[in-house]
Amino acid sequence: MAATAIANIVVPKIFSPYVVERSTTLSNILSSGIAQRNPLFDEMAGAKGKLFEMPYFNDLSGADEVLADGTALTINNITAEQETAVKLMRGKAWGATDLASAVAGEDIMASIGDMVAGYWARSVQTTLMNIVDAMFVDNTGELFSTHVNDQAATDITSSMVVDTMQLLGDNSASLTTMIVHSATYAKLQKDSLITFVRDADNNIMFSTYLGKRLIVDDSCTTSGSGATTEYRSYLFGDGAFAYGVGTIDNATEVDRDTLKGEDVLINRQHYILHPRGLKFVGSVAGASPTNAEMSAGADWTQVWDNQNIKMVCLIAGV
pLDDT in tens, 94-104: 888 888 878 77
Say if residue 159's pLDDT is above 70: yes
Q: What pLDDT is recorded for position 140?
A: 62
How large is the average pLDDT for residues 268-288?
A: 91
Q: To 5 degrees, how large is the angle CA 273–CA 294–CA 274?
A: 20
* pTM for the full predicted model: 0.81
Task: Please give the pLDDT value at position 163.
Answer: 96
Give the pLDDT confidence score for residue 229 in this predicted structure.
Answer: 93
Stretch 193-206: mean pLDDT? 72
Average pLDDT over residues 113-136: 88
> What average pLDDT does range 235-248 have in this prediction?
92
Residue 59 pLDDT > 60, yes or no?
A: yes
Contact 2, 8 (CB under 8 A): no
What does the chain come to in residues? 318
- Domains, the chain: 10-56+81-317 (3.90.1690)
Confidence band, pLDDT 50/70/90 cuts, at residue 316? very high
Using alpha carbons, select from 316, 315, 312 the residue that is nearest to residue 168: 312
Calpha distance 8→18 (Å, rounded)? 16
pLDDT at 1: 43
d(CA 179, CA 218): 9
Lowest mean pLDDT among 110-114, 170-174, 263-267, 302-306: 110-114
Least confident range from 92-96, 104-108, 175-179, 253-257: namely 104-108
Confidence of residue 16 (pLDDT cuts 50, 70, 90): low
Residue 8 above 60 pLDDT?
no
Q: CB under 8 Å to 189, separation ≥6 — which residues? A: none
Query: What is the rounded CA–CA span in Å between residue 152 and residue 160?
Result: 11
The 3-state secondary structure of the chain reads: CCCCCHHHCCCHHHHHHHHHHHHHHHCHHHHHCCEEECHHHHHHHHCCCCEEEEEEECCCCCCCCCCCCCCCCCCCCCCEEEEEEECEEEEEEEEEEHHHHHHHCCCHHHHHHHHHHHHHHHHHHHHHHHHHHHHHCCCCCHHHHHCEEEEEEEECCHHHHHHHHHHHHHHHHHEEEEEECHHHHHHHHHCCCCEEEECCCCCCEEEEECCEEEEECCCCCEECCHHHCEEEEEEEECCCEEEEECCCCCCEEEEEECCCCEEEEEEEEEEEEEECCEEECCCCCCCCCCHHHHCCHHHEEECCCHHHCCEEEEEEEC
Cβ atoms of 251 and 257 closer than 8 Å: no
Residue 5 has pLDDT above 60, yes or no: no
Q: What are phi and psi of 120, to 5 degrees?
A: -70, -30
